[in-house]
Structure 1
Amino acid sequence: MKAALITQPRTLKLANLEAPQAGHGQVRVRVGATGVCGTDLHLFEGHFHARLPLVPGHEIAGVIDQVGPGVEGLQEGQLVALDPVVSCGQCWACRRGQRQHCLHFQALGVTRAGGFAEYVVAPAPNAYPVQGLSPAEAAFAEPLGCVAWGIQRLRPEPGSRALLFGAGPIGLLLMQALLISGVAQVAVVDPVAERRTLALKLGASHALAPGEPTLDLAPHGFDIVAEATGAPAVVEAMPRYAAVGGKLLIFGVAPEEARVQVSPYDLFQRDLSLIGSFSLNGTLPTALAWLESGRVQVGSLISHRLPLEGLEQALAYKEHPGMASALKVLIEPGQS
């Protein structure tokens, strides 16, 4: 089978690999679409303790074409979305219901072969049947599952007002999830005019460029301030926009070595809550429900649909004109 392989930092090659076979309790999926994520960029750069060589890609949807022994409830020909998190189920974290913090954590496309290939093998419990979606739409189940976990961590109160920094693909998913989870208004801040326009089309109450006044929209501050940028400067600025009793959600992936200055007294005196959200935790069914019901729209987030041969330009996007402004890039291995 054709597969994209990161062999060393910033080195990607197309390889002909032996197609994997579904073992006991596993299914093999013929990949229809896999989304390119910021994590893939980090792995391409050799970060995240990348174990190379690696077939990356963890936002995976495709059709089951082989069912291993001992699998029930799944069959060949089913379109499925894959939860990439593979946990042991036995360790301290798993027993607490924190499977994405498994002490023996593995993940498709991160520590195991992923979806930038024609076929991928996954544990059967990680494959969720999809109804009424295309593979391209179903590939959003994983990032939207991460958003659903962020919403569970945040617990928005009905009628609250939110300020969101970042209108990239994950930010626009988070914005829509906030709105369907009881938040009355979401104001979005992003430097790219096209992304601000899209945010308004998808339901943002306001879309502002950095530096535009935001507290005019909420004179006493916002109930929720969230970031989907990974920018330390944004994280550092978040408390100033929060209302008393406000919640601050760090959702973007900042550099591991980054540090910010936050006033402990400010958090204490204004009853602020600082909340992190990592990966997804059994929330892929919630994501699929949002997608299948049409409550979360993803078609307008797709900017590129490329064959495997296009993955390198997506990962090295800074070196390829036209890719720097991309939203969600999907790799479709069946393309020629």
Structure 2
Amino acid sequence: MRAAVITQPKTLQLENLEAPQAGFGQVRVRVGATGVCGTDLHLYEGHFHARLPLVPGHEIAGVVDQVGPGVAGLAEGQVVALDPVIACGQCWACRRGQRQHCLHFEALGVTRAGGFAEYVVAPAQNAYPVRGLSVAEAAFAEPLGCVAWGIQRLRPEPGSQALLFGAGPIGLLLLQALLVSGVTRVVAVDPVPERRELAKRLGAWQALAPGEPVRDLAPHGFDIVAEATGVPAVVESMPAYAAVGGKLLIFGVAPEAARVQLSPYDIFQRDLSLIGSFSLNGTLPVALQWLESGRIQVKPLISHHLPLEALHQALAYKEHPGMGQALKVLIEP
């Protein structure tokens, strides 16, 4: 089979590998679409749990084409979305219900072969049947599952107003999820005009460029201030926009060495809550319900359908977001 392999940091090549076989409790999936994520760029650069050589790609959907022994409830020909997180189920973190923090953490496309290939093998329990969605739409189940976990961490109150920094693919998913979860108004901030326009089409009350008068829209502050940028300066600015009792959600992936300055007194005196959200935690079914119901739209987010041979180009789009007017790039082996 054809597969894209990171052989060493910043070295990616297309190889012909032996197709994997489904073992006990596993299924093999013929990959239909795999989304390109910032994590893929980090792995390409040799960061973030990278175990090289590696076939990356963790936002995976496709068709089951081989069912291993001991598997029930899945059959050849079924369209599935894959949860990439493989947890042991026995360690301290798993027993606390924090499987994405498993002490023996594994993940498709991160520590095991992933979806930038013609075939991928996964535990059957990680494969979720999809109804009424294309494989391109189903590939959004993983990033939307991450958003669903962020929403569970955030617990928006009905009637809340939210300020969202970042209207890239993950920000636009978060925007819609906030609205689905009871937030009345979302103001999106992004430097790219096309992304601001799309944010408004997907339900944003207002979409502003950085530097525009955000505070005028909520004189007493926003109940929720969220960021999907990974930019430390944005994180540092967030408390200034929050209402008393407001919640601050850090959703973007900042560089590991980044540091910000926050006022502990401000957080204390104004009853602010600072919330982090990492990966997904059994939330892929929630994502599929949102997608299958049509409550969250993903087709407008897809900017490119590219073959496996164009993964280099897709990573360049991820590294330079304004390049080629890229939004969500799908690799379709």
TM (normalized to structure 2)? 0.98
Aligned Cα RMSD in Å? 1.2
- For the 8 Å contact 1:313–1:320, the answer to whether it is kept is no
- Alignment map for 1:140-155 (pairs within 5 Å): 140-155=140-155
The CA distance in 1 between the partners of 2:38 and 2:315, in whole Å, is 9
The CA distance in 1 between the partners of 2:112 and 2:223, in whole Å, is 40
Amino acid at match of 2:276: G
SS in 1 for 2:93: helix
1:72 corresponds to which residue? 72
- Alignment map for 1:83-102 (pairs within 5 Å): 83-102=83-102
Cα 1:4/1:248, change in 2 over 3 Å: same
**Greater Cα offset, 46-55 or 131-140:** 46-55
1:173 corresponds to which residue? 173
Shift of 1:325: 2.8
The CA distance in 1 between the partners of 2:318 and 2:75, in whole Å, is 41
2:26 corresponds to which residue? 26
- For the 8 Å contact 2:37–2:318, the answer to whether it is kept is no
2:17 corresponds to which residue? 17
The CA distance in 2 between the partners of 1:50 and 1:63, in whole Å, is 27
Percentage of pairs with the same residue? 86
1:309 corresponds to which residue? 309
Shift of 1:320: 8.6
* 1:232 matched to 2:222: no
- For the 8 Å contact 1:313–1:323, the answer to whether it is kept is no
Shift of 1:319: 8.6
The CA distance in 1 between the partners of 2:61 and 2:179, in whole Å, is 26
Shift of 1:50: 1.1
TM (normalized to structure 1)? 0.98
- For the 8 Å contact 2:41–2:318, the answer to whether it is kept is no
1:106 corresponds to which residue? 106
Amino acid at match of 2:66: Q
The CA distance in 2 between the partners of 1:323 and 1:310, in whole Å, is 15
The CA distance in 2 between the partners of 1:319 and 1:46, in whole Å, is 14
Shift of 1:314: 1.1
The CA distance in 2 between the partners of 1:299 and 1:34, in whole Å, is 14
Shift of 1:10: 1.1
SS in 1 for 2:325: coil
Q: Which structure 1 residue ranges, 4+ long, deviate > 4 Å from structure 2?
A: 318-322
The CA distance in 2 between the partners of 1:321 and 1:251, in whole Å, is 18
Q: Which runs of 5+ in 2 are unaligned?
A: none
Q: Which runs of 5+ in 1 are unaligned?
A: none
- Alignment map for 1:1-336 (pairs within 5 Å): 1-317=1-317, 323-333=323-333
The CA distance in 2 between the partners of 1:220 and 1:322, in whole Å, is 33
